[in-house]
Amino acid sequence: MNEVQLIDLARQGDFDAFEALVTSSQGKIYNHLLRMVGNPEDARDLLQESYLSAFRNLQSFQGGSAFSTWLYRIATNHALMKLRRKNPETVGLDEIPVPTHEELKQRTITDWDLDPNQAMLRKEVRQVLDRAIQSLPPTYRSVALLRDVEDLSTADTAEVLGISEGAVKTRLHRARLALREKLSEYFEGDTSPEVDGP
């Protein structure tokens, strides 16, 4: 049975069909939530809340985008609300000043000797990257995760976050710049972390 058929059955109250939709997406959605909030227990709670919201609002899913994109939007909104409740004084992304060209030229950003594809396979580098992502403000974090980790398109990311594609590009640029600065110190040092054994 394909996704469209499962969605139709789930809309008619078939919980088995909805469970099949959940099973096919819960790993990705959980990992996204874990990266957003950085806590397995919170991520599990948010996963349940997200799927409960999806089930309650299934009639509102129009099918104009992929079902998974719709789920990412629900999950991301739940995660951002939780992060705001935990830290209501978080500075909004749009309140952070954009560095000028001159300021960017003055910053020290190391040229990474590591091939990014090889680096991502190494546990130590993945952990450093995860910590760097966790240190980003939530609105940067959500864009970086959706575009660079979950590999959603700019259009899908815009839909998930309810912003324009131009805003996605701006936020992603800022997030990548912030990540590059955070990671420069690590890559400046030992660029040969040990690879875990098989």
Q: Which amino acid, one-letter code, is at 66? A: A
pLDDT in tens, 9-65: 988 888 899 999 888 889 999 999 999 998 999 999 999 999 999 988 988 888 788
Contacts of 32 (CB under 8 A, 6+ apart): 72, 75, 76, 145, 146, 149, 150
Of 35, 29, 61, residue with least CA distance to 47: 29
Question: What is the sign, positive or negative, of the torsion defined by CA atoms of 153, 156, 160, 161?
Answer: positive
pLDDT in tens, 96-132: 444 454 554 454 444 444 455 555 556 776 777 888 8
pLDDT in tens, 69-101: 899 999 999 999 998 888 765 544 444 444 454
Q: Is residue 158 pLDDT above 50, yes or no?
A: yes
Give SS3 for 101: helix
Inter-CA distances, 117 with 39, 114, 130, Å: 26, 9, 15
Task: Report residue 191 as tokens.
Answer: 């660029």
Q: Which domains does the chain have, with CATH numbers?
A: 3-86 (1.10.1740.10), 98-188 (1.10.10.10)
Give the model's pLDDT for residue 48.
94
Give the model's pLDDT for residue 3.
86
Residue 81: other Cβ atoms inside 10 A: 13
- Contact between 134 and 127 under an 8 Å Cβ cutoff? The reply is no
Give the model's pLDDT for residue 64.
80
Task: Report residue 19 as tokens.
Answer: 């469970």
